[in-house]
Amino acid sequence: MTPTSFEEIALAAPIQRALKEQDYHTPSPIQAQSIPTLLKGQDLLGIAQTGTGKTAAFSLPILNALYEDNYRPQRRSCRVLVLTPTRELATQISASFETYGRHIRFSKTLIFGGVGKNPQINAMRPGVDVLVACPGRLLDHMDQGDVDLSGVEFFVLDEVDRMLDMGFLRDVKRIIAALPRKRQSLFFSATLSPAIDQLARSILHNPTSVSIAPEKTTAEKVAQSVCFIDREDKRDLLALHLEEEANKGLTIVFSRTKHGADKLCRWIKASGFDAEAIHGNRSQPQRDRTLTRFKKGDLPILVATDVAARGVDVKDVTLVVNFDLPNEAESYVHRIGRTGRAGAAGHAVSYCAPEEHEFFMDVEKLIQQKVPVDSNHAWHHEKLAELHARGIKSPESTRDNGGKKGGGRQGRGGRGRGGQAQGRQGGGGRQPRRTEGASNSSGGGGGNRRRRRR
C-alpha cells in the first residue's frame, strides 16, 4: 500500500526527527511512490517536474542508506553523485540534504562553475559522502584527476530534460562512462521524449517507473491570465502590474534572453523599483547574493531567464510575469511553478504580442486549458484576442523569434485600468502610447518613457 504519512515509511529515527522538525508529515505523491522503492535498492525512472517534492524523494532514502552503512568514502571520490543542470538547483539540492540529514554524520560538497576550483579540489581530496555537481565543472575536475567516480554507489540524474536542452548530453554520457557498473541509479525528468527514454534505458537496470503527470495539475494551482498586447507597450503594462503588486509579495519577471534580462532590469530600476537580474552571465557570487536578498524579501523583484530560475524555490513569490513568452511550452509550466508553492496563493500573467501568439497557443495545448484573458488594461490588443478566441494563429507569429513584426493596426481599443492609474498617480492617467524606435528584444526600446516614482 502507498504510505500516507512519513511515519509509515521505514526511515531511520534521525531522519524522522528532521522531518518532524520541518513539520513534514504527509509525503507528496512522488515521495510516497518513490521512497519505498528506493529503500529496497531498486533503480527508479521518475517523470516529475520541480515543485512535486522529488528532491526529498531521492535524498531521504539516500540519507537513510548512508546512516545504516556508514563508512569513509574513497579519496577524491564520493558515495553519492547528484548531477543537475544549474548552479541554483545544485545549491538547492545540497541544502535539502543538509536539512533532512541534520542529525546524521555525513560529508557533502558542491562542484559547479563560476567559482574557484581550489576549494572544490580541497573538499574532494579526502572524499565526500554526497557530491552535487553540474556536468561541465565536474568533467574539468575529472580530466585533471581531482575527482574519481569509481566509488559512486548512488547516482542521481536530475532535470534530464533541461540537461539535454542545455546541450549537456555528451558531457552526461562521459560522466556515466566513468561510474562503476554496480550502483543504484535514479533518473528524473519532467518529460519523456524519445532521446530521454533512450538515455534512461542506457543508465537504468530494471527500473521502477513513477510518473506524476503534473504539467496540467501544476498549472491549475496558479491563477493564470494572459494580456494580448503589442510588444512596445509591454513595459507600461509591467509598470502597472509592479505597482499593484508592491508590498504584497515577491515578483519574478521572465525574459527570454540574458541581454534582454539586463536591459529590462535596468529599465525597472530606472522606473523606481528595486530589482536585480539573474542569468548565466553573472558570476556565482553575484547570483548567490541576489538570490539571498530575494529569499529574505529584501529584493522584491527578480528578473530572470529560464535556466537561472530553475532552482529558485521561494514560497513568498506571489506574482510571475512572463514578459517574454518562452519558445518551449514546457518552460511556461516551470516558470509559473515559481509561484503558488507550498500551498500559497500565486498569480502568473503572460504578455502575448502578435509575434509570440503561436508560442502561447502551444502553451494552452500543453496544459489542456484556456488561460483567462485580462483585457482590463489600456493596451489590450483586441484583434489578437479575437484571433485567439477563434483559434487562428496571428499572421505575425514567427517560430524563430527573429522579430518579424507586422505593421501597425487600426482600431485598437484601450479600456479598463486607465482610471485606476490616474488615481494612483495623482494626475492624468497613463495613456496607451508607442515609443518610436522600440526594439523587438526583451526590454528593448522605450528610452524616452516617463520615469515612474515610488
Q: Same structural domain for residues 133 and 282?
A: no
Q: Same structural domain for residues 281 and 397?
A: yes
Task: Find residue 209's DSSP bridge partners.
Answer: 45
**Helices and strands counted in the chain (H then E):** 17, 13
Q: Same structural domain for residues 201 and 225?
A: no
Percent of the chain with pLDDT over 70: 83
What is residue 138's predicted lDDT score, i.e. its pLDDT? Answer: 97
- Of 194, 212, 230, the one marking the end of a domain is 212
Q: Is residue 94 part of a domain?
A: yes
Q: Is residue 430 part of a domain?
A: no
Q: Which residue has the higher pLDDT, 15 or 286?
A: 15
Q: What is the DSSP string of 41-74?
A: T--EEEE--TTSSHHHHHHHHHHHHHHHS--PPP
Q: Same structural domain for residues 281 and 207?
A: no
- For residue 221, give every residue at least 6 positions away whose Cβ sits within 8 Å of its Cβ, in sequence order, or none: 340, 346
Q: Quick check: 195 pLDDT over 90?
A: no
Q: Is residue 318 part of a domain?
A: yes
- Of 183, 212, 241, the one marking the end of a domain is 212
Q: Same structural domain for residues 48 and 156?
A: yes
Q: Is residue 289 part of a domain?
A: yes
Q: Is residue 449 part of a domain?
A: no
Could you read off the pLDDT of 320-330 as tens digits, one per residue? 999 999 887 77
Confidence of residue 315 (pLDDT cuts 50, 70, 90): confident
- Of 178, 212, 246, the one marking the end of a domain is 212
Task: Find residue 82's DSSP bridge partners.
Answer: 132, 156
Burial class (CB in 10 A: 0-12, 13-18, 19+), 162: buried
Q: Same structural domain for residues 185 and 282?
A: no
Q: Which residue has the higher pLDDT, 433 or 219?
A: 219
The structural domain count of the chain equals 2
What is residue 217's predicted lDDT score, i.e. its pLDDT? Answer: 46
- Phi/psi for 310 (5° steps) reads -60, -40
Q: Same structural domain for residues 204 and 100?
A: yes
Q: Same structural domain for residues 207 and 304?
A: no
What is residue 213's predicted lDDT score, i.e. its pLDDT? Answer: 61
Q: Is residue 109 part of a domain?
A: yes
Could you read off the pLDDT of 371-430 as tens digits, one per residue? 999 999 999 999 999 999 999 989 887 544 333 333 333 333 333 333 333 333 333 333
Find, among 50, 78, 52, 298, the residue nearest to 162 by Cα.
50
Q: Same structural domain for residues 124 and 193?
A: yes
Print the domain residue range for 402. Answer: 216-425
Q: Same structural domain for residues 160 and 279?
A: no
CA 195 – CA 148 distance, rounded (Å):
28
Within 13 Å and on the Cβ side, how many CA atoms surround 450?
12
What is residue 164's predicted lDDT score, i.e. its pLDDT? Answer: 87
CA 184 – CA 176 distance, rounded (Å):
12
Q: Same structural domain for residues 228 and 357?
A: yes
Could you read off the pLDDT of 51-86 as tens digits, one per residue? 678 899 999 999 999 999 999 999 999 999 999 998
Q: What is the DSSP string of 80-102?
A: EEEE-S-HHHHHHHHHHHHHHTT
Q: Is residue 433 part of a domain?
A: no
Q: Is residue 441 part of a domain?
A: no
Q: Same structural domain for residues 224 and 322?
A: yes
Could you read off the pLDDT of 97-145 as tens digits, one per residue? 999 999 999 999 999 998 899 999 999 999 999 999 999 999 999 999 9
CA 236 – CA 230 distance, rounded (Å):
11
For residues 256 and 442, the answer to whether their CB atoms sit within 8 Å is yes
Which domain CATH number covers 102? Answer: 3.40.50.300
What is residue 420's predicted lDDT score, i.e. its pLDDT? Answer: 36
Q: In Å, what is the CA distance from 198 to each residue of 4, 101, 173, 179?
A: 33, 33, 12, 18
Q: Quick check: 342 pLDDT over 80?
A: no
